[in-house]
């Protein structure tokens, strides 16, 4: 007995109380369908669990604090510190939680772990066969944002982060990458960007200026001396000494001129030489030679007289030689040699030497005075030049000192920023990984748990399906339904025979 489209409107009692029989009857009436649905759902869930593999959960906890205080970024010489730390507010914790789920952070995590590359069959790839790499990355970021569970811990400055994956290594790798990228992002957001580069460039600029100023000082020293001011002081002392030498030379020169005049006057009143010894002696050597010549002339006369007559010319010539020798001997005997020795007068010589010495000293003193005067004029001109050089050197030293002070200032600022960057690299910030991620060993659900969950889900779904199908079934199952729905009394009810 069937009615194809019953109006399902009660004619006699629109609201009839359900009995226990009414509740239990569909269960027995649809027991075959319940059994089929139960085993089908149970088998599908077990198959899906087997295909998907075990699910591993990795988690970490992030501590939000205010332990680190960076100096203010300023060009002032004094270091300004931030005020003392305040308790962490809920808004700050929520800000850090939102920072964890920012798209750029998740994108780096996706690229670092290759989450955009699906291994095996993927429904998304099947539905979008011509998608670009950017689209795959965007979809992977969206999936990752859904799978990462972030929850602030109640009454604590902690943020709990969890991620489930079929691979324990991937669960750990994703959270490790997330922690690393998040720390970089936190540091980049909470610290001014480019501060170290700014101070480094300024430090380099002032270092170059300092080197240029020092180079100019070196060139100035090469051309003009190392210390013009010290040289000027030394020259001033030398000018004073040279002035004294000039005055002394002029005095000595006047004294020497007076000495020369006095010596000349005294030398004019006395002879330049005086006799010291006088002696007389005969010409003994001359007499001896003349006697020898006389004997020779007499011997010659005797020889000629023996051969010739006394009137022979040769004999007469020999006589004349003998007479001449005798006359010469007579004259020699009458001759006396007087030996007289004279010498320079000592007083005259002393005066002459003193005059020469005085003239020489006077010439030397004139030369000394002339040289001293020239040196004084030259040194005074040099002192003027050194004054100008000292002023120029002071200007260069002032510029070098200013560049050095600026260089040291920006160097200290650069070191402060370098220290802050080093703290950033060491992950020393106002957030810290309190509980680092670890590779999970046990899955989230074991096979007994999966079987129990699959059993419960299959039971609930099969019962729900039975009651749903029974509710939407248009056929009449009991005579009471015929009476209630059609208002027609039932005479005989025949049960439906199963084939």
The mean per-residue pLDDT over the stretch 53-74 comes to 69
Confidence band for 7, pLDDT divided at 50, 70 and 90: very low
Residue 282 and residue 172 share a domain: no
Confidence band for 376, pLDDT divided at 50, 70 and 90: confident
Please state the three-class secondary structure of 428-449 as a single string. CCCEEEEECCCCCCCCCCCHHH
Residue 185 and residue 52 share a domain: yes
pLDDT for 457 equals: 82
Residue 428 and residue 321 share a domain: no
Higher pLDDT, 329 or 21: 329
Residue 122 has pLDDT above 70, yes or no: no
Residue 76 has pLDDT above 70, yes or no: no
Residue 360 has pLDDT above 80, yes or no: yes
* pLDDT tens digits along 100-114: 888 888 888 888 888
The verdict on residue 282 lying in a domain is yes
Residue 415 has pLDDT above 80, yes or no: no
Contact predicate 347/272, CB 8 Å:
no
Residue 189 and residue 41 share a domain: yes
Residue 178 and residue 58 share a domain: yes
Domain boundary among 291, 322, 344: 344
Residue 262 has pLDDT above 70, yes or no: yes
Residue 229 has pLDDT above 50, yes or no: yes
| Structural domains of the chain, count | 2
Take residue 349 and report the two structure tokens written for it: 């010589």
Percent over 70 (pLDDT), the chain: 71
| Best-predicted range by mean pLDDT (182-196, 232-246, 429-443) | 232-246
Residue 480 has pLDDT above 80, yes or no: no
Contact predicate 407/203, CB 8 Å:
yes
Residue 430 CB neighbours (<10 A): 19
The verdict on residue 54 lying in a domain is yes
Residue 464 has pLDDT above 80, yes or no: no
Residue 186 and residue 63 share a domain: yes
Residue 54 and residue 177 share a domain: yes
Residue 293 and residue 180 share a domain: no
Residue 408 has pLDDT above 80, yes or no: yes
Q: By residue range, what is the domain housing residue 103?
A: 29-196+421-462
Q: Which of 465, 365, 421, 424 is nearest to 38 (CA)?
A: 465
Residue 175 and residue 72 share a domain: yes
The verdict on residue 33 lying in a domain is yes
| Best-predicted range by mean pLDDT (17-26, 144-153, 482-491) | 144-153
The mean per-residue pLDDT over the stretch 237-260 comes to 86
The mean per-residue pLDDT over the stretch 20-24 comes to 62
Where does residue 270 rank: exposed (0-12), middle (13-18), buried (19+ CB within 10 A)?
exposed
Long-range contacts of 249-257 (CB under 8 A, 24+ apart): 249/365, 249/366, 249/368, 249/369, 249/372, 250/365, 250/369, 252/361, 252/365, 253/362, 253/365, 253/366, 253/369, 256/358, 256/359, 256/361, 256/362, 256/365, 257/358, 257/362
Bridging pattern class, strands 56-64 and 273-282: unpaired
Higher pLDDT, 160 or 455: 160
* pLDDT tens digits along 139-178: 888 888 888 888 888 888 888 888 888 778 888 888 888 8
Beta strands in 264-409 (DSSP E): 273-282, 336-344
Take residue 319 and report the two structure tokens written for it: 């006589």
3-state secondary structure of 226: coil
pLDDT for 211 equals: 86
Residue 307 and residue 167 share a domain: no
The verdict on residue 493 lying in a domain is no
Confidence band for 6, pLDDT divided at 50, 70 and 90: very low
Residue 62 and residue 172 share a domain: yes
Residue 81 has pLDDT above 70, yes or no: no
pTM, to two decimals: 0.43
Residue 3 has pLDDT above 60, yes or no: no
The mean per-residue pLDDT over the stretch 38-62 comes to 77
Residue 437 and residue 332 share a domain: no
The rounded distance, in Å, linking the Cα atoms of 432 and 67 is 10
The mean per-residue pLDDT over the stretch 216-234 comes to 77
Higher pLDDT, 149 or 467: 149
The rounded distance, in Å, linking the Cα atoms of 27 and 466 is 7
- Helices 447-472 and 31-52 pack at an angle, to 10 degrees, of 140
Higher pLDDT, 387 or 7: 387
Confidence band for 2, pLDDT divided at 50, 70 and 90: very low
Q: Which of 348, 342, 345 is nearest to 275 (CA)?
A: 342
pLDDT for 333 equals: 72
pLDDT for 393 equals: 79
The mean per-residue pLDDT over the stretch 91-108 comes to 85
pLDDT for 165 equals: 80
Average pLDDT, the chain: 75
pLDDT for 130 equals: 66
Residue 80 has pLDDT above 60, yes or no: no
Domain boundary among 306, 323, 344: 344
The verdict on residue 471 lying in a domain is no
The verdict on residue 151 lying in a domain is yes
Residue 454 CB neighbours (<10 A): 19
The verdict on residue 102 lying in a domain is yes
Least confident of 73-82, 275-284, 316-325, 454-463: 73-82
Confidence band for 382, pLDDT divided at 50, 70 and 90: confident
The verdict on residue 24 lying in a domain is no
Domain boundary among 329, 344, 359: 344
């Amino acid at each position: 007995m069937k009615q194809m489209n019953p109006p399902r409107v009660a004619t006699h009692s629109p609201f009839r109380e359900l009995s226990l029989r009414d509740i239990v009857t569909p269960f027995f009436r649809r027991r075959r369908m319940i059994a089929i649905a139960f085993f089908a759902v149970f088998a599908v869930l077990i198959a899906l669990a087997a295909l998907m593999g075990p699910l591993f959960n990795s988690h970490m906890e992030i501590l939000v604090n205010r332990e680190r205080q960076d100096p203010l970024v300023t060009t002032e010489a004094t270091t300004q510190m931030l005020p003392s730390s305040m308790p962490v507010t809920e808004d700050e914790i929520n800000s850090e939680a939102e920072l964890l789920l920012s798209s750029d952070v998740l994108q780096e995590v996706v690229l670092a772990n290759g989450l955009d590359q699906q291994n095996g069959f993927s429904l998304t790839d099947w539905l979008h066969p011509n998608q670009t790499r950017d689209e795959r990355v965007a979809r992977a970021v969206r999936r990752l944002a859904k799978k990462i569970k972030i929850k602030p811990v109640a009454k604590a400055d902690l943020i709990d982060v969890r991620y489930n994956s079929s691979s324990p290594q991937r669960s750990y790798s994703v959270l490790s990458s997330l922690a690393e990228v998040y720390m970089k992002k936190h540091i980049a957001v909470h610290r001014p960007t480019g501060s170290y580069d700014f101070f480094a460039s300024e430090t380099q600029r002032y270092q170059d200026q300092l080197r240029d100023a020092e180079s100019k000082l070196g060139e100035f020293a090469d051309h003009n001396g190392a210390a013009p001011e010290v040289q000027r002081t030394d020259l001033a002392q030398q000018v004073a000494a040279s002035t004294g030498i000039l005055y002394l030379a002029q005095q000595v020169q006047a004294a020497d001129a007076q000495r020369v005049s006095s010596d000349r006057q005294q030398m004019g009143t006395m002879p330049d030489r005086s006799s010291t010894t006088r002696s007389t002696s005969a010409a003994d050597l001359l007499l001896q030679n003349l006697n020898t010549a006389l004997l020779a002339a007499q011997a010659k006369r005797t020889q000629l007289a023996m051969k010739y007559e006394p009137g022979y010319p040769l004999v007469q010539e020999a006589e004349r030689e003998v007479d001449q020798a005798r006359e010469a001997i007579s004259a020699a005997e009458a001759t006396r040699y007087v030996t007289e020795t004279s010498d320079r007068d000592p007083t005259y010589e002393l005066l002459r030497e003193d005059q020469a010495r005085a003239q020489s000293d006077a010439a030397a003193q004139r030369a000394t005075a002339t040289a001293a005067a020239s040196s004084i004029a030259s040194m005074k001109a040099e002192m003027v030049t050194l004054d100008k050089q000292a002023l120029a050197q002071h200007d260069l030293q002032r510029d070098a000192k200013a560049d050095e002070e600026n260089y040291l200032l920006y160097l200290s600022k650069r070191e402060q920023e370098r220290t802050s960057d080093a703290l950033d690299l060491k992950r020393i910030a106002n957030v810290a990984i309190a509980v680092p991620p670890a590779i999970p060993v046990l899955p989230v659900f074991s096979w007994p748990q999966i079987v129990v969950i699959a059993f419960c889900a299959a039971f609930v779904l099969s019962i729900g399906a039975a009651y749903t199908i029974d509710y939407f079934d248009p056929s009449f199952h009991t005579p009471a339904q015929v009476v209630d729905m059609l208002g027609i009394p039932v005479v005989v009810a025949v049960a439906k025979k199963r084939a």
